[in-house]
Structure 1
Amino acid sequence: MSVKAGWAYVFLVAAVLLGATALRVADPFFLQALRLVAFDSYQRLEPQAYDPDLPVRIVDIDEASLAEVGQWPWSRSTIAGMLQNLFAAGAVTVAFDVLFTEPDQTSPEQVVKRLTPEEAALLEPILVNRPGHDAMLAQAIGLGPTVLATVLNGGETGRPPSKAGFAIAGDDPLPFIPAFSGNVNNLPGLEEAASGIGSINWIPDRDQVVRRLPLVYRQGDQLVPTLAMETLRVAQGASTYILKASNASGETAFGASTGLNNIKVGDLEIPTNADGGLLLQFRPSNPAAFIPARSVVSGDFDPNAVAGRIVLVGSSAAGLNDLQATPIDAALPGVEVQAQAIEHLIAGRSLTRPDHALALELLFVLVAGVILAFFLPRISAGASALIGAVAIAGVFIGGWASYLYAGLLLDPTYPALAIFALVGSATLYIYRRVEQQRGEVRRAFGHYVSPDVVDELIANPDRLELGGEVRELTLLFCDVRNFTSISERMTAHELTQFINGLLSPLSEIILKHRGTIDKYMGDAIMAFWNAPIDDPAHARNASLAAMEMATKMAELNRDWQAEAEAAGRPYHPVAIGIGINTGNCCVGNLGSTIRFDYSAIGDDVNLASRVEGLSKVYGLTIVIGESTFAGVGEPALELDLIRVKGRSQPSRLYTLQGALGVSDEQFARLQPSHEAMLAAYRARDWDGADAAIATCRSVEVPALDKYYELYASRIAVWRQNPPPTDWDGVFTATEK
């Protein structure tokens, strides 16, 4: 990655991490909702089990009880009888999750009020000494520790009577405690008889799910305990709540007022949030916790079910509209929510979201983000996705383990989203950079190699070994004959057009046959095959390219001739010579750290250049080396056995049938005579060689005229100056 791209990547990572941090600090609703879904999932995966040993039972005004006893509200005398039966069975405390705000309309004194004066006068002697139903309930309430409910609201009605004292240690917690301005009370006589009054208000989250239990509310400056807390106070016989706030003895707040830390009642000391609430661990509803109200009314119940226990009276009947949503139940009776809250407090369960949770989550995102950002550019896209998935899975596993083993609520959703955003953004950026680099590779190599070769390089970049490697190549050199005289007849502009018009189609042919163009040298082209990707048929592909280049030259010459005739200027044919050789070369990015080219060097590269130069000597368009001939698979004629300057070993040279412009029948007649000529020549049989040359010329192959003239002149020289006795038929080429 370049320096510029590296800084862009750093800025991207920083922007994602800072954006994720700012988003979490702002904490929009969708983040809150995801967090709550995760916390609820913990409870659904591992809900609390019902513990029958916990001393809490529910007297349930269920549908069956309503069908048997009658519609709600029941007579207060019926409720009084039920309360008497509970205390008689040994209930420690009875708490009502229902309100008694209006007088009992079935009470005698209330019935008399609805009669005519005459009817009332007749019943007065009968009812004069009979107690009212509300009085009967008040009397029953006084039989034992009883807790009544109150509902706080935003009205301006009176305050509930205070049945307990409150002591505060530390800072004033009132600003942190949920406040109400009014309330709905029970009948005064009932509240006077009660041992405690507790609020049955719930403060659900925005999705209307109850997850928290407020332990205390306030109305103005008066503190009001919740029903669960008041029940526990009364059950313990305690008289006072001790609220410990920030900067109290043993509590550290560094001088800042941070609200409540815990509430003590009796033997229970309960850690709380700043507002005096705590998070609840819920369990599935269990029938074993319920006693039907109808059986308590009739007295037909097991006294052991309530003896020594806290009893809550409430209703599960859907028609009484006292159902609450919890993390594991969509509709749980309000009385059971109260019962589970009391169980939670008695069992001493701990479910907290620590004050430093947000800091931990932010720190994790920043640290994990930096670590991931460091490794992502160094690994593949698949590995990036795997690491991202592992990191996200680790976040969820860590959150789950914190809940399961420590009762801590750590949010996995925000870190998971942040990591997903980081990995996604970084992977997308890296992918785009890779695509840009691929585009650069395609543009760079597209001038030198064929499109399918470029595609293979992009798909398998490891096959391009930078720095150089030794491998077998087939090299092609192509040069324009008599270029100096051609250039002398043209202006610079015309010469440029000519070169471009010549080299472009020839280059296309090379690329078409999977060749790599090494360089242009004025009017010459150097190309090679079998690099940068493997090409098992490199010798054949190079030869096919050479033959097509020769054919193309004929087409170009026809076009140039037509142009010259149209312009009224003389036409001069243009010829090329092509030399091909195969051998081991060093190929790769060669040059300096400032500038380099993808090129090939080596002795066989030099030989290929020499072979191209010899094509002019033989008067042929294409000359190939011995190693190339072995891999071509095309009919060819051996031309010579030469030793070039700088090489001790001789090399055989060939030309292809396709470069001679002959038919198969002509080639079949030519080849035996041609081979006989070479054999006679190398055997110093000059007469036999001349005779074979004459036979070869009779086949009439114009492309070989200069070649046979060359051998005829050599034979004439040898006749005058015979070769030495150790002569092996090798011709030594002293110049290109």
Structure 2
Amino acid sequence: MRKAVMPVLSAGRAAFGWIGRRIGPGRLLASGLLLLLLALRITDPPPVEALRVRTFDALQVLSPRVPPADRPVAIVDIDEASLREFGQWPWTRTRLAAMCRKLQEGGALIAAFDIVFSEPDRLSPPRLAETLPDLSEAARADLRAQPDSDAVFAKAIGHLPVVLGQTAASTPVAWTGREPPPQTGTAVVGTDFDPETALIGFPGLIRNLPVLERAAAGRGVFTISPERDGVVRRVPLVLRAGGTVVPTLALDILRVATGADTLLIRTDEAGVVSIRLPELTVPTDPHGQIWVRFSLHDPGLYVSARDLLNGTVPPERLRDKIVLVGTSSVGLLDNRTTPLDRSMPGVEIHAQLLENLLTGATLTVPNEATLIEVGATAAVSLAIILFAPILGALGLLLFGSLVAGQLVFVSWYRFSAHGILFDATYPLLTTFLVYLTLVFTNYFREQAGRKRIRTAFGRYLSPDLVEQLAHSPEPLRLGGEERRLTIMFSDVRGFTAIAEFYKTDPAGLTALMNRFLTPLTNAILDRQGTIDKYMGDAIMAFWNAPLPVADHEAQAAAAALDMLARMDALNAARQREAKAGGHPVLPLDVGIGINTGPCVVGNMGSDLRFDYSVLGDPVNVASRLEGQSKLYGVKIVLGAATADAIRARFPVLELDRVRVKGKSEPETVFTLVGDEDFRRSEPFRQLAARHGAMIAAYHARQWDETGAAAHACRALAEGLRIDGLYALYAERAETFRREPPPADWDGVTVATTK
């Protein structure tokens, strides 16, 4: 069996490899990503839907609905002013009956309540007769004789076409009437229709009192369910509540206005297609919902219930209008979030929905919208995958910009001109991700090539050069260029004694070398230096090549100070380890020489083997300067050119005029004694003044003054680790006092060692 399968697997791998070579790994990966994203759009999980609806929100924000000049809807608002004048809610039903009479007198076409009256009026006189304590029998009899408030309200409802509100409930609610509740008729046209699966459903329906339900011209559910993020975007026109199909408030208002007895629900295999009334067909989504095209919150829609009851409302405000009765009072908790407003009264959402339906301004998402979006996504993404290698980066950018602009234009045009919602964001996002996949695949391929170069040359070229070669391999040839460089040599003092200490532990010596060479190297690299080579315990480095460094002298000086600080930290750690282990330890001390000048830098060697290195007299001088650090008892020795470049920033002191070994011309050398902050300090100004006086006295053959200045400088330089320098000058002054130099003495010290 295994022998039979192996050829098949081999053939499969070969075929896949051939496809990968012909098409390319980038295209294969991008195609796989495209298939995944298309499947994601078809399944439409919540995050994808959230992205789409927020895009539709943005369209509404950019172009809110402009209400008609002659608005067909008005709102009687139970606002804060009304509650202050007539008391807290709920009001007695006789006051609501008075509102109905006022609406009838004002010429309202239909009144609708965004309120449910599911319980008897607690302020009805007959009810008060049974609930108020300490009433006389005469008073109680008088209250019983008064008309019931709910009956008064029902009578007022009967004189004006009124649509009462109902609300969906999360639990079943029993009907309290003796007869079955009034119900709006529905008829279904189309394929088999299952309201259990097609419509948004609730287990219960809270109705009004039976006496009110029978008196009303219509009944509609005012429940508004926001989406997952709390924003109201879609409102159902019909839903399933309490085991029956019921219209929502706005739809039943229109049914009463058109005189229809039945709602015609058209369906197909996907669910609801549309809902029809005489002279009005409203397309819906498969769940019977429509998208509301919102306008901004409009206070002009509102009439205060206080003004209505007091008779101060102008007649034209209500005449021939559909009047919704609701509340904007914050305490009654009926405010909602829309794409345009963070807090819009729920009654205004119903009012805007009515205007949408009456003016044909509703938004629609065609049933084929998903197919269109998937097709557009696939077409554009495949074009990018196919033409990316041909068009190049600039051509692909222009092509992508053109396609993105077209998608955005189509989405905006269909929304603004036809009220059709088309999501351009998912095609844009998908094509952008496909494009990024191609870009990153090419990037990783380039990185792999650069990694091969780093692996091949990283063992013997400086890190900066390796990185440069990874981006541009052309410099891999023999030759060099002249450039002004700063060169550093560093060496560990007394390394012979340290090596002898480890003569029986060569592995320990190797570990120690790695331990001190690593921080010294990092100090150089952190300051943009290039490591030329390691010579046992010594390091050669340079600045301003292969990459330019504007302030290379200062960077080298800062690196030298950092090297000393890191050596101090290493010595402290080794002392702690030695104390804990109970064994002796030899401290590490480093000397550093730095010089600046014109050099030749480039690939030096043969055709078969070469190194990126530097040649020139400044290199030799830097090496000699490092050797003089022990003689002068300082850590850092600077050449004159380096000192001149940094003396304005760093604390520099003159050491001597020296003729190093192998050189005929003397060199004035300096030392670096601290960082930039110390350069600006008063202690350094005092030290520099006394030090300058010492050097001047020395060259003037004033030996007593030289010795006195050396002792004074030694006291001022406490903690700077240059005591050996002033001990040297004190010793020289004493020696020349006993045996003065010859008359032709020029103050130059001849170095006898490297």
TM-score (norm 2): 0.56
How do 1:521-600 residues align onto structure 2 when only pairs under 5 Å count? none
> Which whole-Å CA distance do the structure 2 matches of 1:436 and 1:182 have between them?
65
1:240 maps to a residue whose letter is: T
Question: Which residue number corresponds to residue 107 of structure 2?
Answer: 90
CA deviations over 1:560-602 (Å, ceiling 9, x no partner): xxxxxxxxxxxxxxxxxxxxxxxxxxxxxxxxxxxxxxxxxxx
Alpha carbons of structure 1 residues 181 and 120: separation in structure 2 relative to 1, 3 Å: farther
Q: Secondary structure at the match of 2:135?
A: helix
Residue 401 of structure 1, aligned match among 404, 410, 413: 413
Question: Which residue number corresponds to residue 470 of structure 1?
Answer: none
Question: Which residue number corresponds to residue 168 of structure 1?
Answer: 188
Residue 185 of structure 1, aligned match among 198, 207, 212: 207
> Which whole-Å CA distance do the structure 1 matches of 2:148 and 2:206 have between them?
22
Question: Which residue number corresponds to residue 239 of structure 1?
Answer: 261
Kept after mapping to 2: 8 A contact 1:392/1:419: no
> Which whole-Å CA distance do the structure 2 matches of 1:457 and 1:5 have between them?
29
| Identity within the alignment, % | 37
Asked if 1:371 is matched to 2:383, the reply is yes
Asked if 1:148 is matched to 2:168, the reply is no
Residue 296 of structure 1, aligned match among 289, 308, 325: 308
Residue 287 of structure 1, aligned match among 270, 282, 299: 299
Q: Secondary structure at the match of 1:301?
A: coil
TM-score (norm 1): 0.58
Alpha carbons of structure 1 residues 152 and 27: separation in structure 2 relative to 1, 3 Å: same
Asked if 1:44 is matched to 2:61, the reply is yes
Q: Secondary structure at the match of 1:372?
A: helix
Alpha carbons of structure 1 residues 273 and 138: separation in structure 2 relative to 1, 3 Å: same
Question: Which residue number corresponds to residue 226 of structure 2?
Answer: 204
Alpha carbons of structure 1 residues 365 and 114: separation in structure 2 relative to 1, 3 Å: same
How do 1:689-708 residues align onto structure 2 when only pairs under 5 Å count? none
CA deviations over 1:292-324 (Å, ceiling 9, x no partner): 110111111111111111000000000001111
> Which whole-Å CA distance do the structure 1 matches of 2:307 and 2:601 have between them?
100
Residue 138 of structure 2, aligned match among 111, 117, 122: 122
> Which whole-Å CA distance do the structure 2 matches of 1:64 and 1:397 have between them?
47
> Which whole-Å CA distance do the structure 2 matches of 1:99 and 1:9 have between them?
62
Q: Secondary structure at the match of 1:119?
A: coil
2:412 maps to a residue whose letter is: W
Question: Which residue number corresponds to residue 21 of structure 2?
Answer: 4
CA deviations over 1:378-424 (Å, ceiling 9, x no partner): 45556656655654455444322332223222223322221221111
* Pair member with larger Rg: 1
Instruction: Report how far residue 358 of structure 1 moved.
Output: 1.7
> Which whole-Å CA distance do the structure 2 matches of 1:375 and 1:161 have between them?
66
Question: Which residue number corresponds to residue 327 of structure 1?
Answer: 339
Kept after mapping to 1: 8 A contact 2:182/2:213: no
Residue 194 of structure 1, aligned match among 193, 205, 216: 216
How do 1:264-275 residues align onto structure 2 when only pairs under 5 Å count? 264-275=276-287
CA deviations over 1:354-385 (Å, ceiling 9, x no partner): 22222222222222112112333345556656
> Which whole-Å CA distance do the structure 1 matches of 2:468 and 2:206 have between them?
81
2:139 maps to a residue whose letter is: L
Alpha carbons of structure 1 residues 130 and 371: separation in structure 2 relative to 1, 3 Å: same
Instruction: Report how far residue 428 of structure 1 moved.
Output: 0.8
Question: Which residue number corresponds to residue 735 of structure 2?
Answer: none
Kept after mapping to 2: 8 A contact 1:202/1:213: yes
How do 1:17-28 residues align onto structure 2 when only pairs under 5 Å count? 17-28=34-45
Instruction: Report how far residue 158 of structure 1 moved.
Output: 3.2
The number of residues matched between the two structures is 468
Question: Which residue number corresponds to residue 59 of structure 1?
Answer: 76
Query: What are the ranges of 5 or more consecutive residues in structure 1 without an aligned counterpart?
Result: 247-256, 465-512, 515-539, 550-736
How do 1:363-442 residues align onto structure 2 when only pairs under 5 Å count? 363-378=375-390, 381=393, 384=396, 388=400, 391-392=403-404, 394-437=406-449
RMSD (Å) for aligned C-alpha atoms: 3.8
> Which whole-Å CA distance do the structure 1 matches of 2:22 and 2:447 have between them?
13
Alpha carbons of structure 1 residues 376 and 82: separation in structure 2 relative to 1, 3 Å: same
Tell which deviates more after alignment, 368-377 or 62-71. Answer: 368-377
Instruction: Report how far residue 284 of structure 1 moved.
Output: 0.6
> Which whole-Å CA distance do the structure 2 matches of 1:450 and 1:132 have between them?
100
Question: Which residue number corresponds to residue 104 of structure 1?
Answer: 121
Instruction: Report how far residue 218 of structure 1 moved.
Output: 2.3
How do 1:656-667 residues align onto structure 2 when only pairs under 5 Å count? none
Kept after mapping to 2: 8 A contact 1:177/1:275: yes
Asked if 1:359 is matched to 2:371, the reply is yes
2:187 maps to a residue whose letter is: A
> Which whole-Å CA distance do the structure 2 matches of 1:463 and 1:362 have between them?
50
Alpha carbons of structure 1 residues 459 and 380: separation in structure 2 relative to 1, 3 Å: farther
Tell which deviates more after alignment, 224-233 or 427-436. Answer: 427-436
Q: Secondary structure at the match of 1:201?
A: coil
> Which whole-Å CA distance do the structure 2 matches of 1:230 and 1:224 have between them?
9
CA deviations over 1:204-260 (Å, ceiling 9, x no partner): 2111211112111224653211110111111222222111222xxxxxxxxxx2222
> Which whole-Å CA distance do the structure 1 matches of 2:412 and 2:405 have between them?
11
2:67 maps to a residue whose letter is: Y
> Which whole-Å CA distance do the structure 1 matches of 2:29 and 2:223 have between them?
48
Instruction: Report how far residue 189 of structure 1 moved.
Output: 1.0
How do 1:508-519 residues align onto structure 2 when only pairs under 5 Å count? none
Asked if 1:158 is matched to 2:170, the reply is no
Alpha carbons of structure 1 residues 451 and 78: separation in structure 2 relative to 1, 3 Å: closer
Alpha carbons of structure 1 residues 50 and 378: separation in structure 2 relative to 1, 3 Å: same
Tell which deviates more after alignment, 427-436 or 388-397. Answer: 388-397
Instruction: Report how far residue 446 of structure 1 moved.
Output: 11
Tell which deviates more after alignment, 370-379 or 200-209. Answer: 370-379
Q: Secondary structure at the match of 1:150?
A: strand
Residue 317 of structure 2, aligned match among 268, 281, 305: 305
Instruction: Report how far residue 265 of structure 1 moved.
Output: 1.6
Kept after mapping to 1: 8 A contact 2:100/2:160: no
> Which whole-Å CA distance do the structure 2 matches of 1:139 and 1:205 have between them?
39
> Which whole-Å CA distance do the structure 2 matches of 1:451 and 1:329 have between them?
58
Instruction: Report how far residue 441 of structure 1 moved.
Output: 7.7
Kept after mapping to 1: 8 A contact 2:78/2:329: yes
Kept after mapping to 1: 8 A contact 2:60/2:293: yes
Q: Secondary structure at the match of 1:204?
A: coil
Alpha carbons of structure 1 residues 455 and 394: separation in structure 2 relative to 1, 3 Å: farther
CA deviations over 1:85-122 (Å, ceiling 9, x no partner): 00111101000001112222222111111234x72511
Instruction: Report how far residue 125 of structure 1 moved.
Output: 4.8
Asked if 1:316 is matched to 2:333, the reply is no
Asked if 1:228 is matched to 2:240, the reply is no
Instruction: Report how far residue 157 of structure 1 moved.
Output: 2.1
Residue 344 of structure 1, aligned match among 345, 348, 356: 356
Question: Which residue number corresponds to residue 32 of structure 1?
Answer: 49
Q: Secondary structure at the match of 2:212?
A: helix
Alpha carbons of structure 1 residues 383 and 81: separation in structure 2 relative to 1, 3 Å: same
Asked if 1:136 is matched to 2:152, the reply is yes
Instruction: Report how far residue 199 of structure 1 moved.
Output: 0.6
Kept after mapping to 1: 8 A contact 2:204/2:243: no
1:423 maps to a residue whose letter is: Y
Kept after mapping to 1: 8 A contact 2:234/2:290: yes
Instruction: Report how far residue 203 of structure 1 moved.
Output: 2.8
1:364 maps to a residue whose letter is: A
Alpha carbons of structure 1 residues 74 and 462: separation in structure 2 relative to 1, 3 Å: farther
